Structure 1
């Protein structure tokens, strides 16, 4: 992803990857990896808050329709950023399972 494609302002380097050294590229990957983990933590926090609201309202924790919508958004975003849809959906299936497991362990 080039700087122009970035939507979060993560990188401050306007050079294309081919213009960067191996170490600079590896640092970019380390930075992206940290951001991914931070976003997973944020997603887990929000998913847990949703589970708490559902528990307070007597609603079931699992919502197949909502999970399907998450998968559809994942596919749409994969297409938008030209990333393999099946792999992105696999990541999101894993995120959903991560959140379910976290909720089971913390309830």
Structure 2
């Protein structure tokens, strides 16, 4: 589908259909967060095995830059996306510290 077709079809949806669409999207977001957390846990295990520190500021900077680039690509507020990613990173770091 083209972007215009997506926009047109969304504009023709009822309120209940729109809410159902948001519910499906929310479910997908939670699934992706769960996948990201699982992989971050694996990263934490590798760091622990190799005696590496929990925090890697250069990697965090790369993640934030990538988040900003993706936000720009999808025309979403970059500050909002970066705030979400900062929260995800902080949660993962807290979990890594607790597991050590």
Relative to the length of structure 1, the TM-score reads 0.83
**Count of residues in Structure 1 that have an aligned counterpart in Structure 2:** 98
Runs of 4 or more above 4 Å deviation? none
Q: 1:90 aligns with which of 63, 66, 83?
A: 83
Residues 49 and 4 of structure 1: is their aligned pair in 2 closer, same or farther, counting only changes over 3 Å? farther
Identify the residue that residue 55 of structure 2 maps to in structure 1: 62
Equivalent-residue separation in structure 2 for 1:103 and 1:4 (angstroms): 42
For structure 1, the residue ranges without an aligned partner over 5 or more in a row are 6-12
Identify the range of structure 1 (97-106 vs 32-41) with the bigger mean alpha-carbon deviation: 97-106
Determine helix, strand or coil for the equivalent of 1:61.
coil
**Relative contact order: is structure 1 or structure 2 higher (C-alpha 8 Å, sep ≥ 6)?**
2
Q: 2:39 aligns with which of 46, 57, 60?
A: 46
For structure 2, the residue ranges without an aligned partner over 5 or more in a row are none
Residue pairs, 1:14-33, within 5 angstroms: 16-33=9-26
Equivalent-residue separation in structure 1 for 2:84 and 2:7 (angstroms): 28
Equivalent-residue separation in structure 2 for 1:76 and 1:92 (angstroms): 13
The CA deviation string for residues 29-54 of structure 1, in whole angstroms up to 9 with x for no partner, is 00110111111111011001001001
Equivalent-residue separation in structure 2 for 1:19 and 1:69 (angstroms): 40
Relative to the length of structure 2, the TM-score reads 0.89
Equivalent-residue separation in structure 2 for 1:106 and 1:100 (angstroms): 10
CA positional deviation for 1:14: 9.1
Higher percent of residues as helix: 2
